[in-house]
Amino acid sequence: MTDDMPPIKAALEAILLVVDEPVAEITLAQLLEHPTAEVHAALRELAAEYRDQGRGFELREIAGGWRYYTAEHCAPVVERFVTDGQQTRLTQAALETLSVIAYRQPVSRARVSAIRGVNSDGVMRTLTLRGLIQEAGQDPESQATLYRTTGYFLERLGLNSLDELPELAPYLPDEISDIEEIHG
């Protein structure tokens, strides 16, 4: 081990903290320039230490590698945190964008932006990440990606189908209702 390298357990913790999928012992050994047997022993020691200390996370060997996971006894707290994070209110821009998509779907980003009169790209990314909208193919003429609402959208609004969305006409100014009737 060189002088500038951290101790093996600290190095393993640092690496495993940032991985998205389990990392094989051989990969960790090559990266840390330690024998595989030494890495194996250090990983097992770390896993035992976390378990014995009753930590909120575990180090598990799974799918041919090692990775951190939430400890089983902490799962309800994590679940509450994740679902509460999804409960945050939508901004006015997100509500407007979601309304346009719900009533005009499938619809392109450009069409949503044209209807709202402002660029909606960022809001649409947020709505996609929150699982409220999804891609729905491409427009055959413009090749633009089309978007529609998801089943999660219906679930959050307590609807069985889009047919249950309220009629818009009563909420539109008279001149817009007249235009819709002429062109509709």
- Of the listed ranges 7-16, 61-70, 155-164, the one predicted with least confidence: 155-164
Top-tier CATH class for 92-183 = mainly alpha
Tokens of 46: 């770390």
Q: What is the pLDDT of residue 33?
A: 95
Q: Is the pLDDT of residue 83 over 80?
A: no
Pick the CATH number of 8-74 from 3.40.1440.10, 2.60.40.10, 1.10.10.10, 1.20.1440.120: 1.10.10.10
More confident residue, 171 or 120: 120
| Six-digit token string for 22 | 């389990």
Distance CA 21, CA 83 (A): 23
**What is the pLDDT confidence band of residue 85, given thresholds at 50, 70 and 90?**
low
SS3 sequence of the chain? CCCCCCCHHHHHHHHHHHCCCCECHHHHHHHHCCCHHHHHHHHHHHHHHHHHHCCCEEEEEECCEEEEEECHHHHHHHHHHHHHHCCCCCCHHHHHHHHHHHHHCCEEHHHHHHHHCCCCHHHHHHHHHCCCEEEEEECCCCCCEEEEECHHHHHHHCCCCHHHCCCCHHHCCHHHHHHHHHHC
Residue 148 bridge partners (DSSP): 134
pLDDT tier for residue 3 given thresholds of 50, 70 and 90:
low
Average pLDDT for the chain:
87
Provide the CA 156 distance to its chain's centre, in angstroms.
16
pTM of the complete model: 0.49
Q: Which region, left, alpha or beta, applies to residue 54 given φ > 0 means left and ψ of -120 to 50 means alpha?
A: left
Strands 65-70 and 57-62: antiparallel
Say which residues have a Cβ less than 8 Å from residue 123's Cβ, sequence separation at least 6.
91, 93, 94, 97
Confidence (pLDDT) at 179: 45
Q: Report residue 181: phi and psi, to 5°.
A: -65, -40
pLDDT band at 174 (very low <50, low <70, confident <90, very high): low
- 36-40, 47-51, 124-128: which range is least confident on average? 124-128
All CATH 1.10.10.10 domain ranges of the chain, comma separated, are 8-74, 92-183
